[in-house]
Amino acid sequence: MKIGIIGGGALGLLFAGYIGQEYDVTLFSRRMEQSKQLELHGVHVKTAQESLITPVKARANWQTLSEQELIIIAVKQYDLEGILPILRTLPIHIPLLFIQNGMGHLTYLCTLNNQAILVGTVEHGALKIDDHSVYHSGIGKTNIAYFRGDERILALSRMQSDSFPIKLHQDYEAILEQKLIVNAIINPLTALFQVKNGKLLTNPSYLALLHILYEEIIPCFPKIKENMTIKEVERICRSTSDNQSSMFKDIEEGRRTEIDAILGYVLKRGAEMGRKLPNVSFLYESIKGMEFERGLRE
């Protein structure tokens, strides 16, 4: 099976490194230098215990994209709009898998004609080291569900390993909402306080804020409320205790964050339900302020 991966960030490299062990992977990067490094060195996945080197193909243009049998889109949500024109030129029989944070990208998916479109959430911890290397800081799983289509085409869901498990779900909204709630609580707090995930549990004041945010956010998602307690958020925080959240990393490295895709979506949901979310608003404006001070305007 030929699998194309769009995006040479941490998740794009992580997926290429593991999936490339089983499938014919081409990674599509926007920079020629990264493509050269990937062609020369392959993808190097590092963990605390071992290293994995996976040969992959790499392109800095869209040639061969239409030859793929599955395309995984691993760019940030705010970069999706820029590649939609390319995706719209693809044959509609090619399945697309989107693995963005937040839920704002669902409106984009409705504009595509592909017969099979999937969405996914990733629980792994991944930090990009350089153009061809990624540190796999925490093993989780990839959750996948169909936004449109059925299960006939996705051999990928049958690829299981201890280091990179993949689980197919029936309800795409449920998996996206669960991940959104976790991201809405953990990512902005760790970015604001510049701490790893585990500190939200060991610092009593940070833990109190985690609980306050949960109580404010969860009523906006009644479908998830019964199945996702505060203990589940704490469990995820504990299992990724040594991880640096993507939002913390973005702030640290002077990149735009996904705050609009995450807390911005929560605020929109709250407004639609007539709910005031003062703590969410404070946290949203705090991260936007940090972006402004670093010159990270839209």
- What's the first-to-final CA gap in the chain, in angstroms? 38
The answer to whether residue 179 is catalytic is: yes
The span from the CA of 110 to the CA of 246, in Å, is: 27
Among residues 2, 36, 167, 179, the one annotated as catalytic is: 179
Instruction: Count other Cβ atoms within 10 Å, centred on residue 22.
Output: 16
CA dist 73 and 94 (Å) reads: 13
Q: Is 126 helix (H, G, I), strand (E, B) or coil?
A: strand
Owner of token pair 């990733």 = 122
At 99 the three-state DSSP class reads coil
Task: Return the amino acid letter for 205.
Answer: S
Q: Which of 26, 39, 13, 221 is nearest to 137 (CA)?
A: 13
Q: Which residues does the annotation mark as catalytic?
A: 179
